[in-house]
Chain A
Amino acid sequence: MHELSTHAAHHAPPQGVLRKYVFSVDHKVIGKQYYGLGLLAVVIGMVLSWLMRIHLVWPNFAIPGLQWLSSAGAPGGVITPEYYLQLMTMHGTLMVFFVLTNVPFAGFGNYFLPIQIGAEDMAFPRFNMMSFWVTFVGFCVLVAAFFVGDGPPLSGWTAYAPLNAIPRTGPGQATGQTLWAVSIAIFCIGQLLGSLNFITTTLDLRTKGMTLMRMPICTWAWFITSCIGLLAFAVLLPACILLILDRVAGTSFFVPSNLVVSDQLVNHSGGSPLLWQHLFWFFGHPEVYIAILPAAGIVSHILINSYRRPLLSHKVIIYCMIAIGFLSYMVWGHHMFLSGMNPFSALVFSFPTLVITIPATILVLIWIGSLYGANLQINSASLFALGFISMFVSGGVSGFFLAQPSIDVYLHGTYFVVGHFHMVMGVAAIFGMFAGTYFWAPKMFGRMMNETWGKVHFWGTFVGTYCIFMPFHYLGLVGNVRRYSAFVDDYLAPLMPVHRFITIAALITGAFQIVFVINLIYSRFKGAVAPDNPWQGTSLEWATSSPPPWDNFGGRLPVVYHDPYQYGIEGASGDFVMQNSSEQIQTAREDKKLI
């Protein structure tokens, strides 16, 4: 490897187990910690979804051991309707905050952003460590809700007012909801610290030759996401502070006058429940892009590598992501078409919602169109990346319908919406996370993951996901309401076979995730030792050893000479030229090469 660089490191690596692995300031350790926390959260979240699905189709089935978690919520192991909602709340909160935000953004971002721009660490390593541990405390506070009082809150992950502000509205609404609000406030602080670090690092610590446009697409995605996150979490935090004050200090920000709950007049007056929705969704919609943009970036990065050619336009992808980030702040009202907002504002929010599909569609067209002339390498990572596109499109298409207020009025309270957001942001981001794992595990752990089991995992998950979430759309269209805990005795009873199919598919798809976890753990210790550049990639993370040394480049900072994706050209190292190779090449600028 030809490298023009200098000795830069001048002090010893961190010593001691605690400094090295627990309270480490090394962005790579922090990235893995975020990833591990996300994995733990996703396991809990998935088990919760199983419990819900089982309860939906076999309402009287006693789940062994569940009574120990909550004797009131699941007497004898049978879930009560209230407890169903409590499980739903925790499923949503864990998945959105602690999985979809933690893994593709905070996890992979922390690990790879500094390496990809040729830095030795984040700009503020201490803040970075704080960011993780603050998030971890937030996680513990949230999970603690299972074990105190009468369990977690039942107000859903959106915690609409005034349900969220009044303790006696249901089980879990006392201590549980307070813990929820505190947990989310803490989480916001962690993410603000993280975003601040990401942005500063990207702006100030790029290595020589690493111009902004030479940054890989996923670095761009993390950068844009951190800009979104900085502004979005800065709005959710005030919302949570006001909510906590409403709950513990007797203020009335969100509780309206003359509210009667359980036949008792509520002590607050004059608040605006809609205010909570506005503040929440002003964060909530950008949050969708906080989940999906890093996944889209990771997927683009992987697809280019497996296509062995640049995507149609590097710049257009970046501009599209910026456009999505910008527009994500103008569409929050589309979550509130049914909230009693002025119908004209519904129209106003509908328009940018439709506009935001344009950059998203351009991204999809670039990913698919670039297949032309590609020398596609099929492996677990590229399969999951292609699977991401499939999920993103299938889930995204239903977004066109929901963006129109008149259609949304019918579909909003149904399973159609559940199917939509699970595919377009939930599973799609999870696919991005799987793709990233298969692609980067060799770099992160120094071991290759098993390809065969990776493919088995992919097909099981891919087919399974469609079996789960496609029928949701059908259920929604025929009017199956969401958030109900049972459909046995009403007009929805004829739909039970579909629900049964979904539940079985969910259990089987979940079982396939065990394959992934075993593969990950087994490969971590027993997998084939990974070479430095197993996928013949061009970006800087492949220019260092696997796993990278504590200062990323062993004291030698790389110097960057090329755009990030010089594939499909004869170079010294094969059909690609690495970013830090000083080799003179015929520019493989995508525009010249492809027309």
Chain B
Amino acid sequence: MLVWHRRLACAGRCTAEPAVLHGLIMATTLQPPPTVNLPTSLQGVNLRDSDAPSTGIWIGIAAITMTFAAFTSAMLVRQGSANDWRHFAFPIILYFNTAVLLASSLTLQIGKRRFSRLDSKGPSNARPTITALYGTLVLGWTFVFGQYAAWQQLRSEGLYLSSAPSSSFFYVFTVLHALHVIGGLLGLVYVIRKLRGGLLRANTLSAASQYWHFMGLLWLYLLILLRVKI
């Protein structure tokens, strides 16, 4: 993974981002504040601790939502445009994957809580937080491999991308979602690296968890959509 660092030229705020798509804006993380201490009255908005990571994630979420909404409408139109929609057995493993993804959100939330306690007590052992985040990482990859297993199952039934419009949309939705999840996992690796270096800031972690929870929500939506339509 590419990790780029750059400090923005503002006292008390520096920015760095990784170079992965939507998923990774979370990485505005930040180095310890420089020693310039200004009276609050002189601090412009730029000098404050920036909300940019969180805002960026919200905007990314808007774009991703729009993308999947467009695919959904395409699916509905395509289903109605001909009589060739083919229903097939819904891969059971997807329910297992759903549970895994939701569990990964839970561990991330636990990590976030541990991190906030860490923050208030001052720098101390970050081990429990890192463990929780590793939990998310492992569960996240389990989800991705679980999705892969679902694709393998469809392939073994002779259902490929171009076999039927329903299988086309199944692959399009699940693959694109998995790519977004992988983007989030790369971001998580970045967050963990920062945490190990003692450089993680709370707003980065909360931006990351915002994105990750959204991935879970999006998957729930896709699960219901595919379950109903396939």
Q: Residue B1 at the A interface, CB < 8 A? A: no
In the bound assembly, the distance between CA atoms of A231 and B68 in angstroms comes to 11
Inside 8 A of B6's CB, which chain A residues have their CB? Answer: 25, 125-126
State the Cβ distance, A327 to closest chain B Cβ, in Å: 17
Q: Residue A551 at the B interface, CB < 8 A? A: yes
Q: Residue A452 at the B interface, CB < 8 A? A: no
Can you name the residue of chain B whose Cβ is closest to the Cβ of A199?
B59
Q: Residue A377 at the B interface, CB < 8 A? A: no
- Across the interface, A121 reaches (CB within 8 A) one of B4, B8, B83, namely B8
- Across the interface, A231 reaches (CB within 8 A) one of B8, B36, B66, namely B66
Inside 8 A of B46's CB, which chain A residues have their CB? Answer: 8, 118-120, 205, 207, 557
State the Cβ distance, A217 to closest chain B Cβ, in Å: 21
In the bound assembly, the distance between CA atoms of A125 and B59 in angstroms comes to 16
Q: Which of B14-22, B98-106, B126-134 is found at the contact surface with chain A? A: B14-22
Contact B44 A257 (CB under 8 A): no
Q: Residue A271 at the B interface, CB < 8 A? A: yes
Inside 8 A of A242's CB, which chain B residues have their CB? Answer: 71, 74, 172
Q: Which of A1-35 contact B (CB under 8 A)?
A: 4-11, 25
Contact B50 A235 (CB under 8 A): no
Inside 8 A of A119's CB, which chain B residues have their CB? Answer: 46
Contact A196 B63 (CB under 8 A): yes
Contact B52 A269 (CB under 8 A): no
Inside 8 A of A239's CB, which chain B residues have their CB? Answer: 70, 74
In the bound assembly, the distance between CA atoms of A559 and B47 in angstroms comes to 12
Q: Which of A178-224 contact B (CB under 8 A)?
A: 189, 192-193, 195-196, 199-201, 203-210
Q: Residue B147 at the A interface, CB < 8 A? A: no
Inside 8 A of A7's CB, which chain B residues have their CB? Answer: 11, 36
Contact A230 B59 (CB under 8 A): yes
Do A205 and B74 contact each other (CB < 8 Å), given the known contacts A8-B11, A123-B56, A126-B4? Answer: no
Q: Which of A46-54, A56-64, A248-256 is found at the contact surface with chain B? A: A248-256
Contact B56 A235 (CB under 8 A): no
Contact A125 B9 (CB under 8 A): no
Contact A270 B9 (CB under 8 A): no
Contact A206 B74 (CB under 8 A): no
Can you name the residue of chain B whose Cβ is closest to the Cβ of A11?
B7
Tally of A-B Cβ pairs under 8 angstroms:
182
In the bound assembly, the distance between CA atoms of A257 and B56 in angstroms comes to 43
Inside 8 A of A120's CB, which chain B residues have their CB? Answer: 8-10, 46
Contact B70 A203 (CB under 8 A): no
In the bound assembly, the distance between CA atoms of A206 and B56 in angstroms comes to 15
Q: Which of B36-94 contact A (CB under 8 A)?
A: 36, 38, 42-47, 50-52, 55-56, 59-60, 62-64, 66-67, 70-71, 73-74, 77-78, 81-84
Inside 8 A of B10's CB, which chain A residues have their CB? Answer: 8, 120
Q: Residue A555 at the B interface, CB < 8 A? A: yes
State the Cβ distance, A246 to closest chain B Cβ, in Å: 9
Q: Residue A330 at the B interface, CB < 8 A? A: no
Q: Which of B114-122, B135-143, B160-168, B211-219 is found at the contact surface with chain A? A: B160-168
Inside 8 A of B81's CB, which chain A residues have their CB? Answer: 256, 270-272, 274-275
Contact B84 A205 (CB under 8 A): no
State the Cβ distance, A416 to closest chain B Cβ, in Å: 30
Q: Residue A331 at the B interface, CB < 8 A? A: no
Chain A interface residue count: which class?
A: 35 or more
Contact B60 A238 (CB under 8 A): no
Inside 8 A of B185's CB, which chain A residues have their CB? Answer: none
Give A396-437 as 1s and 0s: 1 = Cβ < 8 Å from B's Cβ atoms: 000000000000000000000000000000000000000000
Q: Residue A386 at the B interface, CB < 8 A? A: no
Contact B62 A231 (CB under 8 A): yes
Q: Residue A290 at the B interface, CB < 8 A? A: no
Contact B168 A204 (CB under 8 A): no
Contact A234 B50 (CB under 8 A): no
Q: Residue B28 at the A interface, CB < 8 A? A: yes
Contact B51 A234 (CB under 8 A): no
Do A241 and B44 contact each other (CB < 8 Å), given the known contacts A123-B15, A272-B81? Answer: no
Q: Count residues of chain B with CB under 8 A from any CB of chain A.
A: 53
Inside 8 A of A274's CB, which chain B residues have their CB? Answer: 77, 81
- Across the interface, A10 reaches (CB within 8 A) one of B9, B45, B66, B67, namely B9
In the bound assembly, the distance between CA atoms of A230 and B62 in angstroms comes to 8
Do A238 and B52 contact each other (CB < 8 Å), given the known contacts A199-B59, A210-B45? Answer: no
Can you name the residue of chain B whose Cβ is closest to the Cβ of A189?
B21
Q: Which of A103-142 contact B (CB under 8 A)?
A: 118-121, 123-127, 130
Do A555 and B9 contact each other (CB < 8 Å), given the known contacts A206-B45, A242-B74, A250-B162? Answer: yes
State the Cβ distance, A508 to closest chain B Cβ, in Å: 44
Can you name the residue of chain A whose Cβ is closest to the Cβ of B3?
A126
In the bound assembly, the distance between CA atoms of A121 and B8 in angstroms comes to 7
In the bound assembly, the distance between CA atoms of A128 and B6 in angstroms comes to 13
Q: Residue A237 at the B interface, CB < 8 A? A: yes
In the bound assembly, the distance between CA atoms of A118 and B8 in angstroms comes to 14
Q: Residue B197 at the A interface, CB < 8 A? A: no
Contact B82 A270 (CB under 8 A): yes
Q: Residue B25 at the A interface, CB < 8 A? A: yes
State the Cβ distance, A543 to closest chain B Cβ, in Å: 14
In the bound assembly, the distance between CA atoms of A203 and B28 in angstroms comes to 16
Q: Residue B123 at the A interface, CB < 8 A? A: no
Q: Residue A455 at the B interface, CB < 8 A? A: no
- Across the interface, A557 reaches (CB within 8 A) one of B21, B44, B66, B71, namely B44
Inside 8 A of A126's CB, which chain B residues have their CB? Answer: 4, 6, 16-19
Give A327-368 as 1s and 0s: 1 = Cβ < 8 Å from B's Cβ atoms: 000000000000000000000000000000000000000000
Q: Which of A223-281 contact B (CB under 8 A)?
A: 230-231, 233-235, 237-239, 241-242, 245, 249-253, 256-257, 269-272, 274-275, 278-279
Contact B52 A208 (CB under 8 A): no
Q: Residue B34 at the A interface, CB < 8 A? A: yes
In the bound assembly, the distance between CA atoms of A119 and B13 in angstroms comes to 12
Inside 8 A of B60's CB, which chain A residues have their CB? Answer: 196
Inside 8 A of A257's CB, which chain B residues have their CB? Answer: 82, 84
Contact B82 A251 (CB under 8 A): no
In the bound assembly, the distance between CA atoms of A249 and B51 in angstroms comes to 42
Contact A203 B63 (CB under 8 A): no
Can you name the residue of chain B whose Cβ is closest to the Cβ of A555?
B9
In the bound assembly, the distance between CA atoms of A199 and B110 in angstroms comes to 31
In the bound assembly, the distance between CA atoms of A251 and B51 in angstroms comes to 43
Inside 8 A of B71's CB, which chain A residues have their CB? Answer: 238, 242
Can you name the residue of chain A whose Cβ is closest to the Cβ of B80?
A272
Contact B9 A124 (CB under 8 A): no
Q: List 22 A-B contacts (CB under 8 A).
A: A7-B36, A11-B9, A120-B10, A120-B46, A124-B28, A124-B52, A125-B8, A195-B59, A196-B25, A196-B56, A204-B55, A208-B44, A210-B45, A238-B71, A238-B74, A241-B172, A251-B162, A270-B78, A270-B83, A272-B78, A272-B82, A555-B9
Q: Can you name 15 extra interface pairs (CB under 8 A) apart from A8-B9, A125-B15, A269-B82?
A: A4-B42, A6-B38, A8-B11, A8-B47, A120-B8, A123-B15, A124-B17, A127-B17, A196-B63, A201-B52, A274-B77, A278-B77, A279-B70, A279-B74, A557-B47
Which A residues contact B (CB, under 8 angstroms)? 4-11, 25, 118-121, 123-127, 130, 189, 192-193, 195-196, 199-201, 203-210, 230-231, 233-235, 237-239, 241-242, 245, 249-253, 256-257, 269-272, 274-275, 278-279, 282, 551, 555, 557, 559
